[in-house]
A and B are shown apart, each in its own frame.
Chain A
């Protein structure tokens, strides 16, 4: 079984401030982990993913995330928020075996205050 918990359904940051969106996962096998962003009335766009190898993963738009196995976490960060970062962010997990099912968290809406 696999699951994802995103702490904080809404996060507000000032423009230029650090963005930190939290994600904890549960998986019975080594996980593949993803962060997606969704703008209103649009599909999901992949920001970054972790499969194997380096635990610090860099993605698009200046975002990065670090896989911490001991903490079962995959938090998303960006040093300086832009107004265009306002969107909903989803953390997701897939097991590294043959099953293709991806389990998503409930999402975190990021508000950027000018």
Chain B
């Protein structure tokens, strides 16, 4: 169990550029989640995948945001035409379906995005 990993850990970009983040979940976990956390706030749910299917999406996920999990393993979160308001920590989490740890989400270290 190597934990949830996220890359890059930090990203600085200029307004209007596109950025993509990657999340590798714990290997046996079939559920994957993306959250956004701004300074002084708790994480806010963005979206959820079960295997490759995107089953839940928050209204926070505007049309500039897209998430994929093509083979049911790693996931990517892309933000197009970034805005300064997109500056935040983007957290990925994974969980298993069934077993004693079901419903427990394990978080990665996050990707901190700064939009200049």
**Contact residue among A42, A49, A103, A104 (Cβ-Cβ distance under 8 Å from B104):** A49
Q: Tell me if B40 is interfacial: C-beta within 8 Å of chain A.
A: yes
Tell me which residues across on chain A come within 8 A of B103, comparing CB atoms: 32, 49, 51, 94
CB proximity of A1 to chain B, nearest CB, Å: 13
Residues from chain B with a CB closer than 8 A to the CB of A9 are: 40
Q: Is B40 in contact with A104, judged by CB distance below 8 angstroms?
A: no
B91 at the interface (CB under 8 A from A): yes
Range for the number of chain A residues in contact with chain B: 20 to 34
Does A106 lie within 8 Å of B4, measured CB to CB?
Answer: no
A101 to B43, CA, bound (A): 11
CA separation between A4 and B41, bound complex, in Å?
12
* Contact present for B109 and A105 (CB under 8 Å): no
A45 at the interface (CB under 8 A from B): yes
| Contact across chains for A43 and B31 when beta carbons are under 8 A apart | no
Q: Closest residue of chain B to A91, judged by CB?
A: B42
Please list 28 pairs of residues, one from A and one from B, whose beta carbons are closer than 8 Å in the complex, sorted by A's number. A4-B42, A9-B40, A32-B103, A34-B104, A42-B110, A43-B91, A43-B109, A43-B110, A44-B91, A45-B107, A46-B105, A49-B103, A49-B104, A90-B42, A92-B42, A94-B103, A100-B33, A101-B45, A101-B58, A102-B33, A102-B105, A103-B45, A104-B42, A105-B42, A106-B41, A107-B40, A107-B41, A107-B42
